[in-house]
Amino acid sequence: MILQNITTGLFLTITSLVFAQNSKQMSKLIQNEFQLADKQYKKLMKSIPQDKMPQSYNASIDKVTTKDITWWCSGFYPGSLWMIYEQTGDPEIRKEAEKRLQLIEPNKTFTRDHDLGFMMFTSFGNAYRITKNPIYKDIILTSAESLSTRFRPGMQAILSWDKMADFKGPVIIDNMMNLEMLNWAAQNGGNKKLEEIAIAHANTTMKNHFRSDYSSYHVIDYNVNTGEVFGKKTFQGYSDSSAWARGQGWALYGYTMMYRFTKNKAYLDQARHIAKFILNNPNLPEDKIPFWDFNDPKIPEVPRDASAAAIIASALLELGQYVKADERKNYINNARQMIVSLSGDHYQAKAGTNGGFLLMHSTGGLPLHSEIDVPLIYADYYFLEALKRYKDWYLQ
């Protein structure tokens, strides 16, 4: 018994020392990352036209690629700026963030697809969280109402895209991310129907989007009037039956977020199952940065997706808030490994390079021959969010 007590005490002491060492190292890493982000985004902002938003960088011609404000990624740049400002207090970063919010404000009435949460909550959501400016809150509430117009009662889901050649009523797993704005709006002065829409969409997605191993299809094609499922397909993954890596990240993040707002244990259990699929997948590399699709038969000779890792890391850190100690430790350790990998020489750009973006080696749409092995603005955003979450939740 004495020996057991000594052994247990020694184990706890070693564990405490390791945790303290990890905390010290992570604290320094996070500080360095935000300092680097401050420098990089000052470089990036000099390359962006006044009426466009940054998307990626073409190294072969040394040019930042940009998009119009209605592109689904338009919120990630100002959202990243706000997180950088929050950590550094740099007034130049804040000025750029405010200017870019003015540019995308007209999106608050955009209703042509489901991406309004990506566009307006990553941007104005962070701005309001940090400044409490009531104008930003009003814009979020208007944006949520606009997004709600895409809800189709017959299929109990938000229509992602309008009818296309290959799809009659497409709903993509990415759409789970846009529910955050609806939930937040409903709980912060908006119409309560917004939360009802978010719950209905999450339930429909949980019913139809997942396989028995809790991997997710990318696109479910519905009859918008009856909810009948016409097909389970992909648009950006390797095949209809494959597990597109970023899609698994959207699913994990989405159901973790839904539990945050509703405390419905079914959503927590769904998130835990998805996390298990990702973390126990035999095709997840040792550095925890996924290949672009878990089922590409050419693995390992295929591109990685740093954006998927950033999304998954951020989601795991939140999921760790809602589970018991052993499970939390597993999620934190995996998220930390992803963060450390992303901040290493292979995935992170050197200061002054990469067009000003932080991360390299993301994959946007490989089957579409689009954005393969490049920096992507949303990879940076979720990486910065993961850093902030680690600091706020696990370094206190």
Q: Give the catalytic positions in this structure.
A: 115, 174
- Residues 6+ positions from 271 with CB-CB distance below 8 Å: 252, 255, 256, 259, 315, 319
Amino acid at 50: Q
Residue 209, H or E segment: none
Compute the distance between CA of residue 22 and CA of residue 30 in angstroms, rounded to an integer. 12
Q: Are 341 and 287 in contact (CB under 8 A)?
A: yes
Question: How far is it, in rounded angstroms, from Cα 152 to Cα 223?
Answer: 10
Structure tokens belonging to residue 145: 């109402």
Contact call for residues 188 and 137 (beta carbons, < 8 A)? yes
The helices-and-strands tally (H runs, E runs) of the chain is 13, 9
CB 114 within 8 A of CB 150: yes
Nearest alpha carbon to residue 314 among 257, 371, 247: 257
Amino acid identity of 187?
Q
> Using CA atoms, how far apart are residues 84 and 357, in angstroms rounded to an integer?
13
Name residue 233's amino acid: K
